[in-house]
Amino acid sequence: MNEPIAPVLHKVGNRRHEWMLRPEGRKTWQRRRLPLIGRHWLTWRGGHNPRTLERERRLADKRPLWWLVGLAGLVATAPFLSDAMLQIAIVFCVFAAINVIWTLIIGAAGILSLATMATVGLGAYAAAAANVYLGVPWPLMFPVGLLVGLMAGGLLALPSTRIDGLYYALLTIGVAEICRVSISQIRALAPQNSSINNVDSFIPQDWFLQRPGLLLGFASAFVLLLLALLLFRLVNSERLGLQLQAAREDEEFSEAVGIDYKRARLLVFLIASGALGVIGAYYAMLYRSISLNIFSLDQLLLMFAMIVIGGMGRAEGAVIGTAIVVLIDRALIDLGPLRIILIAAVVIIVTLTTHRGLADARSQFRAYRNRIKSERRAARTRKGGEVMPEEATEIADKQLIAYRRFDKRLRDRLKALITPELIEEHRRAPLGPHSDALARVMNYFRRGEMSDKYAILQEGDPGSWTYSVMALSGEPGKPPRVVDDRHYGSRDEAYHAVFLLRVNDLLES
Amino acid sequence: MSAILEIRDLSAGYGALRVLHEINLTVERGERLAIVGLNGHGKTTLFRAITHLVGWQRGSIRFDTHEIGGARSLGEGRRTPGIVRLGVAMTPQGDAIFPGLTVRQHLDCGAWSRRAWRERARRRALIFEMFPPLRKLENTTVGTLSGGERRMVSVGRALMTEARLYLIDEPSLGLAPVISKRVVDALRQIDVRDGAMIIAEQNVSLLDGQVDRMIGMHAGRLRGDVGHVELG
Amino acid sequence: MDASLIVYALNLSAIYALMAIGISLLWSSIGMLNMAHGATFAVSGYGALVIGGAVLPTVDALLQGSMLLSYARFVVLLAAGAGVGALCGGVIYLLAFLPIHDKANFAVRGLIVTLAINLATVQGLLWWFGPRQQALPQIFGFGRLEVLGIPLRYDQAATIGATAVLLVAVLAWLKLSRKGLEIRAMMQNPEGAALSGISVRRAAMPVMAITGAMAGAAAVLLSQSVFVSPTAGAMPLIKGMIIALLGGLGSVPGAAIAALLIGVLEAATGAIPFLGQRMVLLVQFGFIILVLIIRPRGIGGLLDETRK
């Protein structure tokens, strides 16, 4: 405990790099807002440099820029891709749209539902059947998909209020299987193979699978993805999403402040189901056919793998996961079944190492680094000592640092003054007169904070008082605590006991 | 006669909070030791550090001939069963540790060694002799017992397999004085000739004359070693 | 309902019970939903096929013409299936339990990892054995025997008998041995269990192996009437899962009762003309959803309430 502190240099500071602008300080700050929702394009945080007093503007959230770069890059490269790669890009956009909406269900509403592909498939079948058998024109297939999606969502939502968490997840795994079996039963719907072909589409018949058709398909799929992201944003970051976030953090409390989170959850579930139905209709149009494959367990697991790799609950996670899985699944098609094993291996590795998927890996790493750092710091800290260098970067009031350093040095001086003779001097005359050394020590004690101080409790009858020592809590309203069970016969003894306690505290600090 | 437990420079804490500050403690064989101090000054953390249940820890803990200290790389609690199997019995601060098991099953849980499991009926009878009120509660679930009965079950569980180091955390917490007296009397009956017992307690008068040595604990440091203040 | 239908129902219930109790037991003891149970099922089927192919000729040669032959064949296959199943359980333990069992969000992460194992295993089997269905060696032939005037196929009798023996053995082990007690203690308070010298990691291993062995046994027993194929595990997994749900996850008696109910329901649905085999799943799901809406904790919850 008393070995000299070796001059070890520890790395200091853990501030993240932030993009900073230095605007002209005299100009008023004009911020543009998005139409309708009134949000800003980018979150800038204004402030001053405390030393130079220059105006500063920091970018608090870089994610919108990443989104812009990623999506713009996709659009810019698409026209130069080969036909096969373009098809992969289309698949990516469609699956990413589905996953973004799914993330809304899992992340925002907090319902672990695996019936997503069932909803998409039902929307697709209904829209395709409406087009092929009832002659509904293709633009009207979207409302058909929407209606069927809403209906499916309503049916699925019924048990979700009663059954919670994993139970519901297990139950919904079976839903796709039920859909597959039931649709294959309806002979009138699909004569061969239970698939509906020759669905009308926004892509002209003779462009189908040709270059212009593919480009048109990509453009539409990209728009679909943008719409899905917009829906995610509108639901997740507006009133509904905030209500649900409150509910996720504390259900009882949010209910107490008047948030009907069950209603909000159902509403989000319904909205997402409707959107999935629309995507289903789009899916049937894009490929001009729909088959039972969409309900297969493998397809569901593949989609689930995308969500899981990216991280459940965040839109960027859904998109990143989709990109990884679609690339492995479609681009490495020569590998055969091996590529599914590869995907499964990626899922296992990601799940074992990260808490909430790849999108969260960075913040998880930061949290880990901070934890290790603070543990190390705690192991090095001596109680009441100086401010550690890495702490100093986090303390805004630099005067505190100087004060703590002063206090540490003062205590070191005073510790040297404490000798058995000094204690003996105090025992003889607790109230003085004191020698210079004792007076210095006593002055330091008097100046201390309330939480470091002790009080003397006087009990018993006049003439036979007993005294005991109590520790003050230092917090208003919190009573002092008894330190030990010793009783002292005279007030001077009690004074001396308090002195010993303070000396003890001083030596330990 | 060598020391049964030797703690050198033990620091421990949870995250950024450091609770124990370089503790040094030696416990001799056959010793009954009490660690007294207020709530929140590290008594429980000391016990939890010995059984590797704290967030992080550094320093050496020598139990008999085994080194059980050191920084831990695995998650908390992963080394605990191994340490228990070396002969450390701890009664945690909480009450019923398995609220859904019956008293009898609860006691059987403590019989982790092969021999203790074979002899569990006889050993249960010994526990019931020590704590007569438990006898008629044998088949009730622990969750429905009163605080004193639960503490008896908890202590009884620790006694089912002979240990060399007993760590008893707050035997009087939340109990009526008469009952805590009974619990302490029972602790007094435990044979520690080959091992040692450490009791953490706030109520000093309860242990008066029941233990061989008392050490104060304040703000994460042992106070008996400092010398300027003598306690008890 | 005639007698043969009851036998059919019992036969189904037996196999479902083996799967569902394994799932339920894992959930109640180590808090993991093992979605790789289907993979264990499929792998064990192939394991029995390969080991049977290698060992059975020797057994035949040794016991040529003996009365014991078919029993020996049965035991060899069952042991092979159960052994491979237990091995699978061990692998799942190493991959999905050991690294994350004391980390955040274990229930969901365990579910995801086991799902991925399931996916990978099915694809691996497809890759190795091809999609062709294969039949396990017939053991008892198609003979029948009469018990209490009820005609019973040999394989049905063996399935029901073997399942009953296995389940009783597992339940007795859970009830009487120290391991069973440890498992119950572990679930209630992991820290308290650690202080009682119970290592969660050590206690979980046998549970994983035993539930795996149960799935393996189920695979061999079912393969007497259904072929072995890479995707053979999907249906038993889904059925086992929903039965475990119906039984109230974690309750072993609940799962047993639920398996019986579902077996009877399946046999009955299949027998009713206008519903037929293809509607079986639909009817089962409808039934289970209905039960869960009324009783969110399933039959196990019902049992707990009456006990109180």
Enter the pTM of the model.
0.79
Grouped pLDDT means (10 residues each) for chain A, 509 residues: 55 68 82 79 82 84 89 91 89 94 88 88 90 84 92 86 76 78 73 75 77 89 94 87 86 86 88 94 89 83 89 87 90 81 90 86 85 74 60 74 86 88 90 90 89 87 86 82 79 90 80
List all residues of chain A from 176 to 205 with a beta carbon under 8 Å from chain C: 177-178, 181-182, 184-185
Distance CA B179, CA B171 (A): 10
Same domain? A151 vs A62: no
Nearest to A96 by CA among A326, A322, A331, A327: A322
Judge contact between B84 and B116, C-beta under 8 A: no
Is residue A400 domain-resident? yes
Which residue on chain B is closest to C184 by alpha carbon? B101
Q: What are the Cα distances from residue A104, in Å, to A71, A435, C126?
A: 20, 74, 34
Which residue on chain B is closest to A372 by alpha carbon? B15
Chain A closest-CA separation from residue C153 CA (Å): 30
DSSP state of C277: G
Nearest to A196 by CA among A276, A274, A136, A275: A136
Domain limits for position A49: 37-80
Chain C closest-CA separation from residue A108 CA (Å): 17
Which of C95, C118, C289 has its CB closest to that of A171?
A: C289
Residues from chain C that touch A181, judged by Cβ atoms under 8 A, are 278-279, 281-282
Across C231-237, average pLDDT: 81
Residue of B18, B38, B45, B58 best to disrupt the A interface, most CBs of A under 10 A: B18
Residue range C183-212, pLDDT digits in tens = 888 877 878 888 888 888 888 888 899 999
How high is the pLDDT of residue B230?
38
Distance CA A10, CA B63 (A): 34
CB pairs under 8 A between A and B: 57
Judge contact between B92 and C192, C-beta under 8 A: yes
How high is the pLDDT of residue C308?
47
Same domain? A276 vs A237: yes
Residues from chain B that touch A504, judged by Cβ atoms under 8 A, are 218, 223, 226, 228-229
What is the ipTM score, two decimals?
0.84
Which residue on chain C is closest to B100 by alpha carbon? C188
Contact B101 C184 (CB under 8 A): yes
Contact A185 C234 (CB under 8 A): no
Strand partners, B11: B58
Residue B12 neighbours by CB distance under 10 Å: 28
Same domain? A232 vs A111: yes
DSSP state of C273: T
Distance CA C163, CA C78 (A): 11
Distance of CA B130 to the CA centre of its chain: 18
Nearest to A37 by CA among A318, A313, A231, A259: A231
How high is the pLDDT of residue A388?
66
Residues from chain C that touch A184, judged by Cβ atoms under 8 A, are 278
Same domain? A401 vs A427: no
Residue range C11-64, pLDDT digits in tens = 888 888 888 888 888 888 888 888 888 889 999 989 988 888 888 888 878 877
Is residue A331 domain-resident? no
Same domain? A100 vs A184: yes
> Taking the domains of chain C in order of start, what are their residue ranges?
12-233
Residue range B185-199, pLDDT digits in tens = 888 887 777 888 888
Which residue on chain A is closest to C115 by alpha carbon? A301
| CA dihedral sign of residues A387, A389, A394, A399 | positive
Single residue among A416, A433, A467 that ends a domain in this structure: A416
Residues from chain B that touch A5, judged by Cβ atoms under 8 A, are none
Chain C closest-CA separation from residue B91 CA (Å): 8
Distance CA C216, CA C22 (A): 11
CATH number of the domain bearing residue A503: 3.30.160
**Type of residue numbered C152:** L
Radius of gyration of chain C (CA): 19
Contact C192 B97 (CB under 8 A): yes
Q: Does C91 touch chain A (CB under 8 A)?
A: no
How high is the pLDDT of residue A15?
62
Three-class SS of residue A482?
A: strand
Please give the tally of structural domains in chain A. 4
Higher pLDDT, A397 or C177: C177
Residue range B34-50, pLDDT digits in tens = 888 777 778 888 888 88
Residues from chain A that touch C127, judged by Cβ atoms under 8 A, are 336-338, 341
Tokens of B65: 């001939």
Residue A202 neighbours by CB distance under 10 Å: 13
Is residue A319 domain-resident? no
How high is the pLDDT of residue A150?
94
Single residue among A372, A400, A416 that ends a domain in this structure: A416
Distance CA C17, CA C243 (A): 8
Is residue A74 domain-resident? yes
Q: Does A167 touch chain C (CB under 8 A)?
A: yes
Judge contact between A337 and C127, C-beta under 8 A: yes
Is residue A50 domain-resident? yes
Contact A375 B55 (CB under 8 A): yes
Contact B55 A484 (CB under 8 A): no
Contact C194 B110 (CB under 8 A): no
Same domain? A174 vs A130: yes
Nearest to C293 by CA among C285, C282, C303, C305: C285
Same domain? A117 vs A218: yes
Contact A504 B229 (CB under 8 A): yes
Three-class SS of residue C65?
A: coil
Q: Does B78 touch chain C (CB under 8 A)?
A: yes
Sheet holding B17-28, edge to edge: B17-28, B3-14, B56-63, B66-67
Same domain? A427 vs A486: yes
Indicate whether C163 pLDDT > 50: yes
Tokens of C307: 């006990």
Same domain? A50 vs A155: no
How high is the pLDDT of residue B136?
85
Q: Does B38 touch chain A (CB under 8 A)?
A: yes
Same domain? A63 vs A97: no
Contact C178 B92 (CB under 8 A): no
| CA dihedral sign of residues B117, C184, C166, C232 | negative
Residue range B128-168, pLDDT digits in tens = 888 888 888 888 888 888 777 888 888 888 888 888 888 88
A463: left (phi over 0), alpha (psi -120 to 50) or beta: left
Residue range B76-91, pLDDT digits in tens = 777 888 888 888 888 8
**Type of residue numbered C15:** I
Tokens of C30: 């180590």
Which of A383, A483, A484 has its CB closest to that of B21?
A: A383
Contact A305 C116 (CB under 8 A): yes
Contact B219 A508 (CB under 8 A): yes
Cis amide bond preceding A433, omega within 30: yes
Strands (DSSP E) contained in A390-465 are 454-459
Chains in contact with B, where contact requires at least 3 CB pairs less than 8 Å apart? A, C
Contact C102 B117 (CB under 8 A): no
Strands (DSSP E) contained in A302-354 are none
How confident is residue B227, by pLDDT bands cut at 50, 70 and 90? very low
Q: Where are the alpha helices (DSSP H) in C93-189?
A: 106-129, 154-176, 178-188
Is residue A251 domain-resident? yes
Q: Does C289 touch chain A (CB under 8 A)?
A: yes
Distance CA A306, CA A319 (A): 8
Contact C191 B100 (CB under 8 A): no
Same domain? A49 vs A118: no
Contact B82 C199 (CB under 8 A): yes
Q: Does C290 touch chain A (CB under 8 A)?
A: no
Is residue A51 domain-resident? yes
Single residue among A251, A277, A295 that ends a domain in this structure: A295
Is residue A306 domain-resident? no
Residues from chain C that touch A336, judged by Cβ atoms under 8 A, are 127
Higher pLDDT, B13 or A145: A145
Q: Which class for A411: exposed (0-12), middle (13-18), buried (19 or more C-beta within 10 A)?
A: middle
